[in-house]
Amino acid sequence: MKRSILFGRYLVAILFAVVIVQMGCKRETGYYNTSSVVSGTSLNTYEYLKSKPGVYDSLLFLINKFGMQKYLTDSTVTLFAPSNASFQLAIANLNTARKSQGKNAVYLNDLSAGGKGLVAGSLVKDKAIADSAHLDTMVSRYIIRKQYLSSDFAVGDGQTIYSVRGGYPMHGLRVFGDAEGFQGGGVEVIEFANTKRSLFVTRWSKTTTTSVNIKTKNGYIDLLRPDHVFGFDEFISRLTLVPPPPVIFDYKNDVLFPKWTDGSVTDGQVSAGETFKKCLDGSVLTKFICPQSLTNFVYMYWIPKKVDKITGVVSDDPRVCNAYTMTSANDSKLYKGRDPKAFRLEGLTDAPNPAIVPPATVPSTDPWVITPKSSINDGVWVTLDTRQDQDWTTNYQQKLYEFANTKAYRAYRLIILQKGTTTEAYFQISEWTMNYRKLQ
Amino acid sequence: MKKIILLSLSFIVILAGSCKKQLDVDSTRVVNEVHYWNSLEDARAAIMGVYGLTRAALAENNGHWIYGDVRMGNFVSPNRQDLQAVVKNDLNASYPVLNQLENWRRFYAIINSANIFLERIKEVKAQDARYTENNMNVDVAQVRFLRAFAYFYMVRIWGDVPFITSSRDGTFENRPRTDQNAILEFVQSEMEASALVLPYLYSSGDVQQAGDYYGQSSGRWSGALATKLTAYAMLSHVAAWQGKYADVVRYSRIVLTDFGKSGLSYITTDVLCSAQGIFYTNGATGGNNNQLFGFGFVYSYQDASFTGNLESLALAAPVVNKNVPDIYVPKDSILSIFKETNDGRFNIDSTGATHGYNNKDMYFTNFLGRYPIFNKVKVILSGENDPSFRLYSSTILLTRLEDVTLLRAEAYAVLGETALAVNDLNTIRQRRYNVDQVGLVNSSATDYVAYSQAKHGVVLEAIFKERQKEFMGEGDHFYDRVRYEKIKQNNPQFMQLINSGGIYWPISRDILAQNPLLTQNSYWK
C-alpha cells in the first residue's frame, strides 16, 4: 500500500514537471494570420490620394495634368497606386541615361507639359507632345476598369484586367509574401504585371503590392511597393526613343520590285524564303538576300500608285520623300560583308528627256510596269542622295538617311553599289522603308 | 505536498539539464602535440590547416572585400553603418565588425601554424617512410609561401607589424612592431625561395613534384594549391607594392611566359561573370586552373558558405531573395567608371537599356531598379540560378592571369616602356572590348577597341582604370589606388593619407591592451 502511494507521488511529480516544461516551450503563433491594416475609407479614390500628402503627389500631379480625375471620382476603378518613390526612381534613371548623352535633366513637369510654348511644328514640339502622350499612356495603365479584390486574382493564374484608357491588358495574380523564413506564410499581395500584350509570362514586367483592398467609395486601391519603377521597364525607352519619320509606302497599291544589273538573277535564288518582300514586311526577323557585286548592282524600285475609288483605275501617285531607312539582318554580325556599304537613291522625273538614254543596266522591257505612263524608262533618274562607307556594327540595326527634297517623283530606286566586303557574294537587309518628315 | 514540489523541482533539473550533455564531450578527433607529427596524414592535415587558416583569415567578416573593395572604393552601403564608415575611411568608428577587422590575430594564427609546421615537419620525415623528401620540400615551400603571403597581406593593411618566424615552443611573448620594409624584404626572399621549389602543377608529372600529391589526382589540386606561378604572381604584387617595378617585370615575365605550363588561359567576359565561371570550382570534374591563387568554397565538398564571400555582401533581389544589398555601386559611379563603349562587362545605350557580353547582364543587373546589383560573382549553391537559398561557393580569388598581365603593363608604363605597356593592356582589352553596342560578340578575335592615347588618356591611367573595372569586387581596388597615388603624387589629400599612415588600418584596442610594446598607427591616434 505504502509503495503504491509513493509511486503515486512520483507520478504526480513527473506529471507536474512535464506540465511546467511543456508550458515553457509554448510555440509562437507566427505572423501569417495578419489582417489588412487599412480596411476602408469613406473617401473616393481621388480624395484618398489627396488625403496622403507626400506619398502620391507625383501620381496626383499627372492625373490632374491628363484629366483623369473623373475616372477616380465617378467610375468604378481599381487603382494600383505607385508612390513618389516609384517616380523618383524612374526620373533618376531617365536622367542618368540623358546625362551620359550630355543632355540636361528633365522632370515630370517638363515631360508632361506637352510642348506648351514651343514653336508649332518644330521637332522639339513633336517630341514634347509625344512625351506627354507616353506619360498619359503609362499612368492610365495603373488605373484598372471595374473593382477587383485580391481574392479575385486567387484562382489559377490570376486574371487579365484592362486599363481604363485604351483597354490595355494588364494582369493580376494573388501571391503570398514570406514571413520569418516561412515561404508563402506572409501577407497576401497582388503581383501586378504589364503583359506587353504577350501570352508568354517570361516577357511580362511584374511588380507587387504592399497593401491591398483599400475600399474607397468608387473602387479599391492597392499600394505598390516603393521600389517599383514607374512605367514598368518602359519609362526610359518611351521617353528617349526618337522614331524615324513616318513611312510613306502604301503597301497595298504601290509597286515595289528588285532588279539586278545581271538580268539572270532572280528574286529568292539564294534562299527561296528570303525574297525581296521580306524587307517590306515590317519584321526585322526576316530578310532579303540576293547576289551583289561591283558589276552586278541591286536596284530596289518603288513606284507609288493610287487607285481611284470609283473607277478602280490605277494610276501613278508621285510622292515627296526626304528620308529612307535600312535595317541590318539577323546575322549581319556574322556576315558583316553583306551589309550595304555604298548606295545611291534616285528619283524619276516626270518629263521624258530624249537626250538621256536610260541606263543600260536597266532592262528595257519591264513586266512590272502597269501603265505606259509610269514606264521607268521614259523619264530621267535624278540622284537624290549618295552614301559611302556606311558601317553597320550589329544585327537589326536601323539607320536613317535624310536628304533635302521637296519634289514629288514618279518613282524612286535605291541602288546598292557596294556591300561590306567584295569577297562576300551576297547582299542582305531585313527592312527598307521610304519616309517623309514634315517640313518645318 | 512539499515532497511533491521538491521532487518535481528535481525532475525539472533532470529534464532541463539533459540538454547540455552533448556540449561537454571531448572531441575524440583532436590529436595532441605529443602524438602528432608521426605520419604522412599528419603532414597532410597540417599543411591543409595552414591553407584553411589563410582562407578563414580572408573570409572572416568578409574582410578581404571590406579591406580591398569597400574602403574608399566604388561601393556604398545602403543600410550598414559599419560598412559606410569603412567607405568613408572612418575606421575608428566603434562597430564590432570594424573592431574585428582591426584585429590581426587571425593572420598570426596562420603564421604560428606555419612556424610549427616548418619546425616539426622533419619528424614526420623521420618516422614515416611514405613521406618522401620531394613531398616534404614541396610542402615546406608552400608553407613558407603562405607565411610570406600572410605577412604581405598584413603589411598592406597595418604597415609595421610584429615579426615572428618561430613558434617559441608555444609561448606567446609580446613583440614590438618591425619595420614593414624589412618584412617585405623577407616576404620577397621567402617567396622567391619557395617559387624555385614549387611545381607548375600538382599530380601532373611535374619534375619538381613527382607522382600524385597525397594520392589525389590533379583535378583535386588545380586552383587549390600554390604553384610556382602563384608564387611569381604574388611576387609581382609584392614588388609592385614596394615600388620595385623592375622586379615586377622580372617576376611577371615568368608567369606570362610559362602560363601554359600551369594550365592558365585568358578568360572571356562570359567566364569572368558567369555563375560557373572563374569563381566556380567544380569538385567532381576537377578544379579551375585559372584560379591562379584562390581559396575555394567548393560546393561538392560540402564547403559552401553563407558568409565569407562577395555574394553575401553584394547580391540581392532579383538575383537572390534579399531585399536590399549590403553594398552596391551607385548608378552614377557605374556610368562614370564604365564610360567606354563596346565594353562587354557593362554597356548602356541611349534608351537606358543595359547590354553586357552576348546581350546578357554581366557586372550589373537590375540597373533600372532601386539598387543596381553587382552581379559579377554569383556562385549560388553550385552555380545555379536559384534565388531561394543563399548558400554561396565562390572562390576568394587573389590573383589571376589578367592581374599579372596588367601588373606588368603598369610596370612597363612606370619604367617608360610605353609600347610594351600598351601591348599588355591590349591583351586584356582584346577580351573585354570586343562587343558591339548591343553586346554581341565580334566574330574576329582581332576586332576590338584597342587602346589609343587620344581616346583613353595616358597609358598609366588607362591601365589603372582598366584594373578598377576588371578587378571590381576582387578585393584589389584600395591597394591599386594606393599604388596609383604613389606613382602620380598629384593628389595632396591622398598623399597626406599615405605619408601619415592613414592608408593603414588602426590596430584593435584588444591587441593594444594585450601588448604594451605596440603603439597605435599615428594617423589613428
Interface list for A 252-291 with B (CB within 8 A): none
- Interchain contact, A20 vs B8, CB within 8 Å: yes
Size of interface A-B (CB pairs under 8 A): 80
Q: Tell me: do A216 and A299 sit in the same domain.
A: no
Distance CA A124, CA A115 (A): 8
Inform me whether the C-beta atom of residue B45 falls under 8 Å from chain A C-beta atoms: no
Which of A240, A275, A306 represents a domain boundary (last residue)? A240
Residues A80 and A129 in one domain: yes
Residue B336, chain A, CB below 8 Å: the answer is: no
A103 reaches B (C-beta below 8 A): no
Range of weakest confidence among A17-21, A428-432, B9-13: B9-13
**Residue of chain A whose alpha carbon sits nearest to that of B371:** A227
Q: What is the CA radius of gyration of chain B?
A: 25
In sequence order, the 6+-apart residues with CB closer than 8 A to the CB of B147 are B50, B110, B111, B114, B115, B118, B165, B190
Residue B414 has pLDDT above 70, yes or no: yes
* pLDDT at residue A401 tops 80: yes
For an interface test with A, which of B368, B447, B448 has the most A Cβ atoms less than 10 Å from its Cβ?
B368
Name the residue with cell 614526420.
B124
Burial class (CB in 10 A: 0-12, 13-18, 19+), B1: exposed
Residues of B in contact with A12 (CB under 8 A): 4, 8
Would you say the C-alpha torsion A223, A228, A233, A236 has a positive or negative sign? positive
pLDDT of residue A366: 43
Question: CA dist B523 to A350, B153, B298, B453, Å?
Answer: 86, 20, 40, 38
Among A10, A17, A101, beta carbon nearest to B12: A17
Nearest CA-CA partner of A91 in A110, A76, A72: A110
Predicted confidence (pLDDT) per residue in A195-232, tens digit: 999 999 988 999 999 888 888 888 999 999 988 999 98
Chain A: closest CA distance from residue B431 (Å): 17
Residue A3 belongs to a domain: no
Q: Give start and end residues of each alpha helix (H) in B60-132.
A: 63-65, 81-87, 96-101, 105-127
Given A240, A275, A299, the domain boundary residue is A240
Gap from B443 CA to chain A (nearest CA, Å):
6
* Residues A281 and A352 occupy one common structural domain: yes
- Over residues A94-139, the pLDDT tens digits come to 988 888 778 889 999 888 888 787 777 777 888 888 889 999 999 9
Contact B332 A96 (CB under 8 A): yes
pLDDT of residue A39: 65
Examine the pLDDT at A29 and tell me if it is beyond 70.
no
Closest-CA residue of chain A to B389: A181
Residue spans of the domains in chain B: they are 35-262+507-524
Chain A residues near residue B351 by CB distance under 8 angstroms: 97, 236-237, 240-241
A14 touches chain B (CB under 8 A): yes
C-alpha cell at B522: 599615428
Residue A382 near chain B (CB below 8 Å): no
Cβ contact (<8 Å) for B352 and A229?
Answer: no
Question: Which of B321, B348, B436 has its CB closest to that of A333?
Answer: B436
Q: How many residues does chain A have?
A: 440
Domain for residue A298, yes or no? yes
What's the grid cell of residue B367? 540597373
A395 shares a domain with A422? yes
Closest C-alpha among A286, A262, A272, A224 to residue A86: A224
| Kind of pairing between the strands at A188-194 and A288-291 | unpaired
Residue type, B45: A
Both A333 and A213 in one domain: the answer is: no
Chain A: closest CA distance from residue B78 (Å) = 14
Note whether A265 and A218 are same-domain residues.
Answer: no
In this complex, do A395 and B437 lie within 8 Å of one another by their Cβ atoms? no
What cell does A322 get? 526626304
Among partner residues B3, B7, B368, which is closest to A229 by beta-carbon distance?
Answer: B368
Question: Which of B281, B315, B311 has the alpha carbon at shortest distance from B299?
Answer: B281
pTM passes above 0.80? yes
What range defines the domain where residue A300 resides? Answer: 255-435
A38: in domain: no
> How confident is the prediction for chain A on average, in pLDDT?
84
Mean pLDDT across the stretch B474-503? 94
ipTM of the prediction greater than 0.90, yes or no: no
Considering only CA atoms, which of A346, A342, A367, A368 is closest in space to residue A358?
A346
For A338-390, the pLDDT digits (tens) are 999 999 999 988 755 444 344 444 443 443 433 334 455 567 788 999 999 99
> Could you say which of A14, A237, A394 has the minimum Cβ distance to residue B436?
A394
A54 plus A194 within the same structural domain? yes
All residues of chain A having their beta carbon less than 8 Å from the beta carbon of residue B369 are: 89, 227, 229
Last residue of a domain, one of A208, A240, A272: A240
Residue B57 has φ and ψ, to the nearest 5°, of: -60, -40
Contact between A16 and B4 using a beta-carbon 8 Å cutoff:
yes
In Å, how far are A344, B182, B192, B214 from B217, measured between CA atoms?
66, 39, 27, 9
Q: Rounded mean pLDDT of chain B?
A: 90
Going by pLDDT thresholds of 50, 70 and 90, the confidence category of residue A309 is confident
Q: How far apart are the first and last CA of chain A?
A: 117
Do A94 and A133 belong together in one domain?
yes
Residue where the block lists cell 467609395: A217
Contact B351 A233 (CB under 8 A): no
**Of residues A14, A17, A394, nearest to B438 (C-beta):** A394
- Are B142 and B194 in contact, with CB atoms under 8 Å apart? yes
Average pLDDT (B101-120) is 94
Contacts of B442 in chain A (CB under 8 A): 333
Q: A30 lies in a domain?
A: no
- The DSSP 8-state label assigned to residue B330 in this structure reads -
pLDDT confidence tier of residue B438, bands split at 50, 70 and 90: confident
Pick the residue of A234, A236, A334, A400 with the most B CBs within 10 A to test the interface with B by mutation.
A236
Q: Domain count of chain A?
A: 2
Q: Which of A363-377, A397-411, B53-67, B314-328 has the lowest mean pLDDT?
A: A363-377
Contacts of A17 in chain B (CB under 8 A): 8-9, 11-12, 15
Residues A326 and A281 in one domain: yes
Residues B354-408 pLDDT 10s: 888 888 889 999 888 889 999 999 999 888 888 888 899 999 999 999 999 999 9
> Does a structural domain hold residue A281?
yes
CB B374 within 8 A of CB B327: yes
A287/A321 same-domain check: yes
| CATH class of the region B35-262+507-524 | mainly alpha
- Stretch B220-234: mean pLDDT, rounded? 94
Q: Which pLDDT belongs to residue B285?
A: 81
Best residue of A2, A6, A20 to probe chain B, by most B CBs closer than 10 Å = A20
B217 has pLDDT over 70: yes
Query: Are A333 and B442 within 8 A, CB to CB?
Result: yes
CB contact under 8 A, A236 and B353: yes
Can you give chain A as a three-state secondary structure string?
A: CHHHHHHHHHHHHHHHHHHHHHHHCCCCCCCCCCCCCCCECCCCHHHHHHCCCCCCHHHHHHHHHCCCHHHHHCCCEEEEECCHHHHHHHHHHHHHHHHHCCCCCCCHHHHCCCCCCCCCCCHHHHHHHHHHHHHHHHHHCCEEECCCCHHHHCCCCCEEEEECCCCCEEEEEEEECCECCECCCCCEEEEEEECCCCCCHHHCEEEEEEEEEEEECCEEEEEECCCCCCCHHHHHHHHHCCCCCCECCCCCCCEEEEEECCCCCCCCCCCCCCCHHHHHCCCCCCCEEEECECCECEEEEEECEEECCCCCCEEECCEECCEEEEECCCCCCCCHHHCEEEEEEEEECCCCCCCCCCCCCCCCCCCCCCCHHHCCCCCCEEEEEEECCCCCCCCCCEEEEECCCCCEECEEEEEEEEECCCCCCEEEECEEEEECCCCC
CATH number, domain at A194?
2.30.180.10
Amino acid A33: pLDDT: 56
A7 touches chain B (CB under 8 A): no
- Dihedrals φ, ψ of A14, to 5°? -60, -45
Identify whether residues A287 and A405 lie together within a single domain: yes
Distance CA A176, CA B507 (A): 48
